[in-house]
Amino acid sequence: MQMQAVDGEVHADLTLDGRMEGAPGLAHGGAIAAALDDLFGGVLVLLETPAVTARLNVEYRLPVPLHTPLHLVARCTATEGRKLHMAGTMSAGEAIVAEASAMFVRVEIAHFEASGVPVPDAWRSWGGAARG
């Protein structure tokens, strides 16, 4: 998913296809949640801090049709020590089809390195859990 930073928010355009189908012709709720969670990951890039999703809440307001352009927006609404509070929306035209809030927790780079797969070099210059 291509993301753009706009005034402290992260924006993305997305069209879901048959691979993300739940009920016939409609997007699976898990795909909607994954897209919003991924967008919150983009907010971490703006904040230049590694963190992981600790809690994700999605309000599904309207069925989300496949093959229809969707617009997503996310931002960090508050920080509280290691906790980052996020909020985001997914819209189809003028209608908000889903809203999400999440709590991320800042972690050290070692959290990701534990998988054994190298992390991008850029991440190393960023703050970790110790950052206020």
Q: Which residues bind ligand MYA (CB under 6 A)?
A: 37, 41, 44-45, 50, 52-55, 81-83, 103, 105, 107, 123
Quote the least distance from Cβ 109 to ligand MYA, whole Å: 9
Alpha-carbon gap, residue 20 to 12, rounded angstroms:
17
Count of beta carbons in the 10 Å neighbourhood of residue 64? 22
Quote the least distance from Cβ 38 to ligand MYA, whole Å: 6
* Residue with the two structure tokens 């209608």: 95
Residue placing its CB nearer to ligand MYA in the complex, 20 or 66: 20
- Cβ contact 107:115 at 8 Å: no
Alpha helix stretches (DSSP H) within the chain: 29-47, 110-113
Quote the least distance from Cβ 16 to ligand MYA, whole Å: 18
Residue placing its CB nearer to ligand MYA in the complex, 96 or 103: 103
